[in-house]
Structure 1
Amino acid sequence: MKLVRYGDAGAEKPALLDGEGRLRDLSALVADISGGTLDDASLDRLRRLDPETLPLVEGNPRIGPCVGNIGKFLCIGLNYSDHAAETGAAIPEHPILFLKANSAIVGPYDDVVIPRGSTQTDWEIELGVVIGKTAKYVDRANALDHVAGYCIVNDVSERHFQMQLTGQWTKGKSCDTFGPTGPWLVTRDEIADPQNLGMALEVNGKRMQTGNTATMIFTVAEIIEHLSQLFTLHPGDVISTGTPPGVGMGMKPRPVYLRDGDVMDLRIDGLGHQRQRVRSDD
């Protein structure tokens, strides 16, 4: 099942995709696609619906972030062995964790805005994991039972803010629009193996990132196990699980960064497509 939120920013409505890829409105049944509707029982009720009985959404509305009212936006750094190699970083012993401000979250086709003073805005395609069941002290054997589904995240990053401004990575990760999420939440029953998903990102039609979740250093289950030992994961929390090689800062002979007018296209097997146009915050 593919769950979607559509409409103006801040006023999105819940929907699902029917067999022909059309939006079917769920407003009469659920208030939103958010933590309160992501448990197994709620998803099973939606799964049993006949999409043909639901109102068809006409036109081409804006697609919003696939999860509303996200609790924690958790990000894992340097989680692909080939990406760690391109940046010259050592393989981490434990998952590297940073937070992305929720105010960065936008829809999958919304503009990404280069903040004032930025010279090093970069791209990062990532597998997003949406928690559906409270997780505390879980082990990897049953960790995936706590997942509602998966989505695409573009962990847009300003490298100077991230690396050179005194403080933590969060500074370069949390600028407004730096968290495109969606287009839809694909429930976990449709993803047979989250550790075997092809990933690709293009800038202006040129392939920059090609990867597969098989090269993650820490699997989705291991990440959930680790984080749940530290704090409770709640329904509606989102974990962005790291990026494969091909980011701008790793380009040779010199880094390549986003500029006004650039267009990013992102795809992950089974999870759909994102596209963002880049513009400067003038």
Structure 2
Amino acid sequence: MTRAHAQHQSHDHHGHDHHDADSAQAEILELDAEALAEHTTGIIRWLPLHGSPRQIVDLAAGTGAGTFALLDQFPEAHVTAVDTSPGHLRRLSEKACARGVDGHVRTVLADLDEATWPDLGTPDLVWASGSVHHLADPGRALRAVHDLLAPGGLFVVVEMAGLPRFLPTTAPADRPGLEDRVHAAGDRLHARHLPHRGADWGPMLAAAGFVVEGELHVDVNVEGAGNPVVGRYALHALQRVRGAVAAELDREDLAALDRLLDVDGPHSLLRRDDLAVRTKRSVWAARRA
């Protein structure tokens, strides 16, 4: 969890801009959770667990995708959801109440780039999805998780291969390959700030004292036809990317992107029937000996 967390965390600013960014990010997190729910359940069922976990920590919990997926599988467990965004944790708490599981969820506001962590108990499962590559010093954080876990406990690292792709490579017709160019611009910007994105976490987990017991690599392809969540996810995700890369795109590409993002226009993403969520998810399951 870091101040720069693009998927699950928000910049530590105040005022309306911060609130608006926090809300926009929360919307993307919830669309991502809904679109990838089946894949997340599959990952949890794959885990090499020794019985059902009772105490779980969800690091960079966002609005609760991992928290609630874990509780669906382990309804007797108690989850400590940790994030640096008060807005995200507030949404998570509201959802816990609405689901009737608030007695099983505790929220903790914290930044795990800080040298001292709050008391997170002694969990037998720690879940970190889309977060460890954002840490300023991931080696230190992995060692802290190792020391936090109960003996024999499991640490699960889930990472996605960059932002999802939504459009076919032939789209849009007047600027084919647009999405690849948009993401390439974003990757160039991120490379300076996220040097650990795409890393192989196995050696780093071993260096932190873990025994890596399993790796899983999942190809995600969620078709958008008949699934309005995919269209909304594509719209919000590409709106967010546009804000970062607009200055990096040539004029024709930016104009084509804006036509896709114009919800009232004839070329709107929401009018397309060829969208899909395409990405890869990699999972490392590592045990404290």
TM-score by length of 2: 0.21
TM-score by length of 1: 0.22
Relative contact order, higher structure (CA 8 A, sep 6+): 1
Structure with the higher helix share, 1 or 2: 2
Structure with the higher strand share, 1 or 2: 1
